[in-house]
Amino acid sequence: MSGTAADPRFASVRQAPRRQVRLSWSDPRLRNVFWQVVVIGAVVLLVWYLIGNTRRNLEARHIATGFGFLSQSAAIPIGESPIPYTPSVSTYGRALLIGILNTLRVSVIGVVLATVLGTLVGIGRLSKNLLVAKITAVYVETLRDIPVLLQLFFWYGLLQHLPAARQALHPIPGVFLSIRGIKLPDLIWEGAHSAAVVAFLIGAVLTWMWSRQAAQRQARTGRRPRTWPVALLLLIALPIGVWAALGAPFTLDVPALRGFNFQGGMTLSPEFAALLVGLVIYTSSYIAEIVRSGIEAVAQGQWEAAFALGLPHGLVLRQIVLPQALRVIVPPMTSQYLNLIKNSSLAVAIGYQDIVSIAGTTLNQTGQAIEGVAIIMAVYLTFSLSISAFMNWYNAHIALVER
């Protein structure tokens, strides 16, 4: 150790002066940190000022704050309620929950129908049949240029001109169209139906697991086991077997005209029907263009190679072209789903009681506008982030991975 300590090489290392880091304004790192601190500080000061100013104004006007009003009794009449609701007994919180469910109801159904209709129209635009191609082109170019609010007014006005209940249109048995809405047969739900739904969900999970196993076996051996018999067994035979084992109940509550109104069945109100039709038709016109451009983005050589193998046109579209086009279709499709959900807030213009309508009535009655607007913002933000997260996951799932 003494010899090592006396080594002149180690002595030079010990005696080397430490490097001093000098910061100057010309250093971009210093400037970046400085301006970030300034911006964050300005935002904090602005938020602190706005909160303090709002609190002082509310206290000066003796306006209560907080969300305690949610437990108060709400005297809001609600025409469409998916859960039990009594205006004189139920609370504002329950009324807002109904508004959220109504918004979720029209949004989910609208997204599914707009996707199906938009996909069909988008494929139709590429049809070799001149009539189909022209009709779908007119559909897209016309409906995209009409504001969605005007379309909602049009469909609502059209439904308002339906005949009265006693002269209701009766296109097929069990279905009535009148100014009171659309009456449809309703399934009387029993425990066997719930068990069948649970069996279907279990079957869907097992089918997905089997599909993954089949894909892994294909990667190892080059041969993929058939998945459709397993899917048929788990998704159809299993739920039907559970339903049949529990008695196979199937009773429909068919609507019937009694006096001046209908009894039984389920009702789609004119407001809900107009909102749903308007949103679906408007959004599907944009989705159609997304689907068309996605299909055209696939190289023409894919079509030619498939046709050279003798594959039919429909099979080529479903199994070869559309899976590749999804990588182009999914990102802009997310924006259309978000637009449909946000456009559902226009329901207040035609009287459909969604979260905007019920929250607006609530803040008018309680005077707590900040809390009401915050609830609306939180609901739409939650919906948007959930859709975005799911679509981003799906987009990553179908992305090409280089090996």
* Contact status, residue 132 vs residue 140, Cβ threshold 8 Å: no
**Is 348 in contact with 299 (CB distance < 8 Å)?**
no
Integer Cα distance of 238 and 200 in angstroms: 7
Assess if residue 80 is contained within a domain. no
Q: Three-state SS for 181?
A: strand
> Taking a C-beta distance cutoff of 8 angstroms, is the pair 320, 302 a contact?
yes
Residue 402 lies in a domain: no
Examine residue 54 and state whether it is found in any structural domain, yes or no.
no
Integer angstrom CA distances of residue 287 from 137, 254, 323: 13, 36, 16
Task: Reply yes or no on whether the pLDDT at 163 is more than 60.
Answer: yes
- Report yes or no: 195 and 242 within 8 Å, Cβ to Cβ: yes
User: Does some domain include residue 298?
Assistant: no
pLDDT the model gives residue 7: 55
Q: Is residue 152 part of a domain?
A: no
Place of tokens 């006007």: 61
Residue 302: pLDDT above 80?
yes
Amino acid identity of residue 283, one-letter, is: T
Work out the average pLDDT over 129-151: 92
- Decide if pLDDT at 401 tops 60: no
Lowest-confidence region among 23-37, 288-302, 319-333, 346-360 = 23-37
215 located within any domain = yes
In this predicted structure, which of 52-56, 292-296, 372-376 has the lowest mean pLDDT? 52-56
222 or 167, which is more confident?
167
For the stretch 40-90, pLDDT in tens is 999 999 999 988 887 788 777 776 677 788 888 888 888 888 888 888 888
- The owner of tokens 């637009």 is 339
Domain of residue 240, residue span: 189-250
321 is a domain residue: no
Total tally of structural domains belonging to the chain: 1
User: How far, in Å, CA of 197 to CA of 386, rounded?
Assistant: 24
pLDDT value at 16 more than 70: no
In a domain, 67, yes or no: no
